[in-house]
């Protein structure tokens, strides 16, 4: 199973984006908590991207976990042996203060050093989840050069822990775990063997929950950005 820590990110290739948490337009922003205690909680995945039928008749992307670690021979993973590209991903669990929901932000490898920097600055004496941030989008819809600024919010929020929030979103529907035999079948048939385990089901709708309120109004932010 090709999972990796933030200090191993340079050993995995490829970059991707998109996800369940998203800011659609230039200048859009959101107030969030990153659902990590510290840098050790940040976990990456080396994945392959395939296409699967969507509910509307169109194909949609699906990630499949790569079977190789960077030091393994290429033939350990049939998709790698078939020269299917690998993508280094981080699926960031986020608590959205404005909607009261937990979400997943699907980002590529360039997000690792930014998250590590936030942990080094804000998770020295308390868990990172205790600090509230504002994420701001810079880039129009569909702009592939879009960037995101991350600011520490100046509003006074409760210092919560992970235990105070709903369970972080999992990755079971985001990243399928398949065997080498499953991959060989896919390469021959263009689909995985049927399992009846709900692979084709859509992600469940995120549930609303309690939303800690700030003590001050407005959305101010510090000059520091990450």
pLDDT tens, residue by residue, 35-58:
999 999 999 999 999 988 777 778
Assess if residue 222 is contained within a domain. no
17 lies in which domain range?
3-189
Which helix (H) or strand (E) is 107 found in, with range? strand 101-108
- Looking at residue 56, its pLDDT comes to 75
Does 164 fall in a domain?
Answer: yes
Predicted pLDDT at 76: 97
Whether 226 is covered by a domain: the verdict is no
| Statement: residue 219 has pLDDT above 80 | no
Whether residue 223 is contained in a domain is answered as: no
pTM: predicted TM-score of the whole model, two decimal places: 0.76
Q: What is the pLDDT of residues 146-162, one digit of tens each?
A: 999 999 998 999 999 99
Distance CA 166, CA 33 (A): 12
CA distances from 19 to 84, 153, 164, 196 (A): 21, 23, 24, 25
- Look at residue 44 in the predicted model and tell me its pLDDT: 92
Q: Radius of gyration (Cα) for the chain, nearest Å?
A: 19
* 60 assigned to some structural domain: yes
What is d(CA 87, CA 15) in angstroms, rounded to the nearest whole number? 6
* Chain-centroid distance, C-alpha 140: 21
In this structure, is residue 200 part of a structural domain?
no
Q: Is residue 213 part of a domain?
A: no
Closest CA to 91 of 157, 47, 144, 32: 47
Helix (H) / strand (E) containing 63: strand 59-65
CA atoms within 13 Å, Cβ hemisphere of 56: 2
Residue 225 has pLDDT above 90, yes or no: no
**What's residue 142's pLDDT?**
87
pLDDT at res. 55: 73
If you average pLDDT over residues 187-195, what whole number do you get?
A: 91
Write the CA distances from 192 to 84, 88, 177, integer angstroms. Answer: 16, 22, 11
User: Would 211 be classed as within a structural domain?
Assistant: no
Confidence of residue 197 (pLDDT cuts 50, 70, 90): low
Q: How many domains does the chain contain in total? A: 1
Cβ(154)–Cβ(221) below 8 Å: yes
**Which distant-in-sequence residues (6+ apart) come within 8 Å of 215 by Cβ?**
155, 156, 157
Residues 6+ apart with CB under 8 A from 163: none
């Amino acid at each position: 199973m090709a999972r990796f820590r933030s200090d191993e990110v340079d050993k995995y290739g490829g970059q991707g984006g998109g996800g369940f948490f998203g800011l659609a337009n230039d200048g859009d922003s959101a107030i969030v908590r990153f659902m990590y205690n510290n840098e050790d909680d940040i976990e990456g995945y080396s994945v392959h991207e395939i296409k699967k039928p969507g509910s509307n008749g169109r194909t949609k992307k699906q990630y499949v976990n790569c079977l190789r670690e960077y030091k393994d021979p290429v033939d350990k993973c049939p998709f790698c042996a078939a020269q299917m590209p690998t993508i280094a991903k981080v699926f960031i669990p986020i608590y959205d203060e404005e909607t009261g929901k937990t979400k997943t932000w699907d980002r590529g490898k360039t997000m690792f050093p930014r998250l590590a920097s936030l942990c080094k600055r804000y998770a020295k004496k308390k868990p990172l989840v205790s600090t509230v941030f504002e994420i701001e989008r810079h880039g129009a819809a569909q702009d592939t050069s879009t960037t995101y600024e991350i600011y520490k919010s100046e509003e006074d929020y409760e210092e919560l822990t992970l235990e105070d929030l709903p369970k972080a979103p999992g990755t079971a529907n985001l990243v399928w775990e398949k065997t080498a035999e499953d991959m060989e079948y896919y390469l021959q048939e263009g689909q995985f063997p049927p399992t009846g385990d709900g692979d084709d089901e859509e992600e469940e709708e995120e549930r609303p929950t309690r939303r800690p309120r700030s003590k001050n109004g407005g959305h101010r932010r510090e000059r520091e950005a990450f």
